[in-house]
Amino acid sequence: MFGSSLMDRRSKPERVADQAWQHLLSAAGSAGDSVRDVTRTARRNSSGLADDATDLVGSAAEEARRRASLAFDALAGRRPALPWTLLIAAALAGAAIGWAAGTAARAAGSRERSADEIEFVDVDRPNSPAGLDG
């Protein structure tokens, strides 16, 4: 009772301000709850995106380190190392192409020998067009 009589004695602007303050606290509380819910949902949904971004940033950092190292070596007057893997790969590819060409040449050579063994027979054809019988 004592509290209600105190509330009645306050002026109307004070009561309106108190109600507005209570509404503000309630709205802030519900907004905080909804922000927490949105944050939880965003955290769950963004974990995949964060992993992708981490991979992207990691690969970009590796590339930046590699380029910085090359630039430092160039400024120091050091020549870049030979790309041995590329040279070995090119040599292996050339050997494979040479082997394939050699095998094809041998196969073509064996076909020509069998073509020499074929006997062609000259046959006169009676109604052949002009110039074909010789």
Asked if residue 18 is part of any domain, the answer here is no
pLDDT in tens, 73-125: 888 888 888 889 999 999 999 999 999 999 988 888 776 555 556 666 666 66
Q: Does 51 reside within a domain?
A: no
pLDDT band at residue 4 using 50, 70 and 90 as cut-offs: low
Q: Which of 120, 102, 119 is nearest to 110 (CA)?
A: 102
Give pLDDT tens digits for 42-57: 777 766 676 777 777 7
pLDDT at 111: 67
Residue 92 lies in a domain: yes
- Tell me what pLDDT residue 63 has: 85
Identify the domain containing residue 104 by its residue range.
Answer: 84-115
DSSP 119: -
SS3 of residue 1 by DSSP: coil
Q: How many independent structural domains does the chain possess?
A: 1
